[in-house]
Amino acid sequence: MEGVDFDCRHGEFVSIVGRSGTGKSSFLNALAGFVPFEGEVTIPSSIGYVFQDYALFPWLTVEQNIGFGVLDYPCDERRKRISEMLERIEMSAFRNRYPRQLSGGQIQRVALARALAPDPPVLFMDEPYGALDYHTRDRMQSWLSHLWQQTRKTVLFVTHYIDEAIFLADRVVVVRDKRFVVDLEVPFAHPRNEDLRFSDRFLDMKHLVLDHMETRPVKIVERCF
């Protein structure tokens, strides 16, 4: 990517949406320090990262995978954090199961719990629901929205699903040709329910995002709404 000038407010949920190969994941990986880049990044030293492929250890149980995120904590505090996260993701009854014994949605919840266990101020999510079926993805979006309202983490969420980007976020940044082409404020208050997806205002915004993804010439980022 090139020519990126981007800022994110504390506690804000920002979706970055674009077609495959436009540089969305590369941008997130550069912010996280996984790949080299030219320029300047100012970000808290502690971030949580949820990957596309879950990245759970198949030989560890649910609670052990979550605990991997807080290995440097004292034993008592680590056990407390694990129990808190299991309760938060509603999987206390699954603590001794292995990833192979879980559904895709459950695996993704465990991956998110591991990222949140050390209580980072910023959370990166790189197409976390891309491998899920339509109905599971919708349920996970509603669950994540509810969880975010509880924690108010600063979230950067990469996706190529326009509905997902709008439903979850305070802002939607559209990427095309490895550039940020528009930065849109989402005008819907939280909490959001499933009926919102079928409203005229939601569909209008979906068409606006699609328009910027496909038809407009690349230019400097504009702020809308």
| Angstrom distance (rounded) from CA 42 to CA 48 | 16
Question: Tens digits of per-residue pLDDT, 141-178?
Answer: 999 999 999 999 999 999 999 999 999 999 999 998 88
pLDDT of residue 218: 46
Residues 6+ apart with CB under 8 A from 39: 4
Q: pLDDT, tens digit, for every residue of 29-42?
A: 888 888 877 777 78
Q: Specify the pTM.
A: 0.88
Could you tell me whether strands 179-185 and 171-176 are parallel, antiparallel, or unpaired per DSSP bridges? antiparallel
* DSSP letters for 82-99: HHHHHHHTT-GGGTT--G
CB 102 within 8 Å of CB 135? no
d(CA 83, CA 64): 11
Per-residue pLDDT tens for 35-73? 877 777 787 668 999 988 878 999 999 999 999 989 999
Domains along the chain with CATH numbers:
1-44+122-225 (3.40.50.300), 54-120 (no CATH)
3-state secondary structure at position 75: helix
90-123: per-residue pLDDT in tens? 999 999 999 999 998 899 999 999 999 999 999 9
Tell me the pairing of strands 179-185 and 13-17.
unpaired
